A = this chain, B = another copy of it.
Amino acid sequence: MKFTLESITKDLVAGDRRALARAISLVEDGGPDAVWLVRQLFPKLGRAHLIGITGSPGVGKSTLVDALIAEIRADGLKVGVLAIDPSSPFTGGAILGDRIRMQGHTMDKNVFIRSMANRGHAGGTALATYDAARMLEASGYDIVIIETVGVGQSELSIAQTADTTVLVLMPGSGDDIQAIKSGIMEIGDIFVVNKGDMPGANKTASEIIASLELSTKGAEWKPPVHVTNAEVNEGTRSVWESIRKHKNFLDHSGQLKEKRKHKLESELSELVADIARNNLKTSLKHSSHVQGLLLRLCDHQIDPHSAAESVIEDIFSSKEVEQKK
């Protein structure tokens, strides 16, 4: 039997895991099928809680996610995990058996774990992640966890797909704390110093608290800072409680609506950018004008900005004709 988009949608909504997996693959690939699926499912969505877990490699993000899955399941909720971290054991890259504890959860029909393929640029991965989270929600998952690596600006676009972002550090993460101080603090709604059994955990937590005091002055939400040892589930219940508190705060302060408006605005911006990029790609294959521009650019006969303006004129004049057919 051949799968149709209609049957995938029907089965996915009924909670079928294979249909869900297939739908996520389709939204990862992008293109008309992805657009069709999102178009069908989007009207009924918006209730799931999206949680972003981010931090540098080696801080124990996956172990924390694993512990959180247990807490979420204990509350009777269905949870989906999208792993974008290339070093995450969820992505199948890891060979260290002791890190793949979550295999216990993979037998649980209310837990769905999926790694996201690299889309070549951060914006594209963020777009696919938005849509994959939608497939999970449409299939009945109450909570969607998005695991990303890094604390840099480029993780921001992916972390921003979440309603609640948890930034994970470890004792002595001096560089991460610098990064936080240099202004990307706003990505964290909750801070976790994992590997709390290592020396300096409390010092690291104090440093974060000190940085936060300046940057969150007057803010309605004061990001809590937790010290955990996720390996042995120490402190992880409190993290989950903070996540729920943050959700509650978002709901009652009206900030959820505000936050999601910003998210949709930045998604719209990335989608529009993506359409432009794709049109250029097509033109580089089919338009002799655009091909000529690239050659002149390589010979430094035209500068990149002038070339881009000329491309925009070329691709959207033909695009318009196409769209108005």
Q: How far is the CB of A33 from chain B (nearest CB, A)?
A: 11
Measured between beta carbons, the chain B residues less than 8 angstroms from A178 are 86-87, 93-94
Counting every copy of the chain, the complex holds: 2
When A175-B57, A298-B261 are in contact, do A268 and B123 touch as well, CB less than 8 Å?
no
Assembled-state Cα–Cα distance A242/B303 (Å): 31
- Asked if A288 CB lies within 8 Å of chain B CBs, one says no
Measured between beta carbons, the chain B residues less than 8 angstroms from A93 are 178-179, 181-182
A contacts with B, residue count (CB < 8 A): 86
- Asked if A232 CB lies within 8 Å of chain B CBs, one says no
Contact A303 B154 (CB under 8 A): no
Assembled-state Cα–Cα distance A61/B246 (Å): 37
Contact among B96, B271, B304 for A304, CB-based, below 8 A? B271
For the residues of A in contact with B, the DSSP-based class is helix
Q: Which residue of B lies closest to A175 (CB)?
A: B57
Contact among B56, B91, B122 for A153, CB-based, below 8 A? B122
Contact among B58, B152, B308 for A154, CB-based, below 8 A? B152
Measured between beta carbons, the chain B residues less than 8 angstroms from A308 are 268, 271-272, 274-275
Contact A272 B312 (CB under 8 A): yes
Assembled-state Cα–Cα distance A8/B192 (Å): 47
